[in-house]
Amino acid sequence: MNYRIIPVTAFAQNCSLIWCEQTRLAALVDPGGDAEKIKQEVDASGLTLMQILLTHGHLDHVGAAAELAQHYGVPVIGPEKEDEFWLQGLPAQSRMFGLGDCEPLTPDRWLNEGDRISVGNVTLQVLHCPGHTPGHVVFFDEQSKLLISGDVIFKGGVGRSDFPRGDHSQLIDSIKRQLLPLGDDVTFIPGHGPLSTLGNERLHNPFLQDEMPVW
């Protein structure tokens, strides 16, 4: 699987354009805003966009999804249905952060643990990783050892859990139970910040150690 990161919004969110090299079929993951910028990237790529994938329901990850889905005539897929309250609350989220009007969003398909998504000849595994939000999912391409992790894990950090229905213990459990077993050689694209590997985070991420450091 090939990818290109498109940083969007004032939150520097990593929207990912992913595609199958053989078929040139593509998907957008977490188009959080700056729809015109994303359109320019997609149109210049020569790829055929087939779908929009969402890891979770926060505004900075879904803000441009409806506009892009309508523009390209493609479905919005994900996250897991437990994040429905976040997607229905997009107007309140947009007012809170002063990011303009954003209508409630209902995806064309909710995702569940164990689902598979095809992007051309690429198969993405869907893993449910609650904690940052209750319906957060991640996408894993086993062949290329690439994980799109949303706001579950970052280089040197993990997602916030102080939002409604966030749960820090559940988040850490999701990482240790769902992500780390994928392998140390797996590279992940986080929702914000630089890429890292699961091996690096297993060894050095302070939130994943049995004893937290005293600062």
Q: What is the pLDDT of residues 5-48, one digit of tens each?
A: 999 988 899 999 999 999 999 999 999 999 999 999 999 999 99
Q: Flag whether 11 is in a domain.
A: yes
Confidence of residue 137 (pLDDT cuts 50, 70, 90): very high
Q: Is residue 214 part of a domain?
A: no
Q: Is the pLDDT of residue 119 over 60?
A: yes
90 within domain boundaries: yes
Q: Across residues 147-171, what is the average pLDDT?
A: 96
Residue 123 domain flag = yes
Does the pLDDT value for residue 212 go beyond 50?
no
Looking at the structure of the chain, the number of domains it has is 1
pLDDT bucket at 141, cuts 50 / 70 / 90: very high
Is residue 37 in some structural domain?
yes
CATH of the domain at 149: 3.60.15.10
| Residue 211: pLDDT band with limits 50, 70, 90 | very low
Domain that holds residue 11: 2-208
> Can you list the positions of beta strands (E) in 36-152?
48-53, 76-77, 116-119, 122-128, 137-141, 146-150
The whole-angstrom separation of Cα 15 and Cα 189 is: 10
pLDDT at residue 102, as a whole number: 83
Mean local confidence (pLDDT), 74-81:
99
Half-sphere exposure of 141 (CA within 13 A, CB side): 20
Is the pLDDT at 180 greater than 90? The verdict is yes
Structural domain contains residue 215: no
Residue 213 lies in a domain: no
Show the tokens assigned to 42: 């997609």
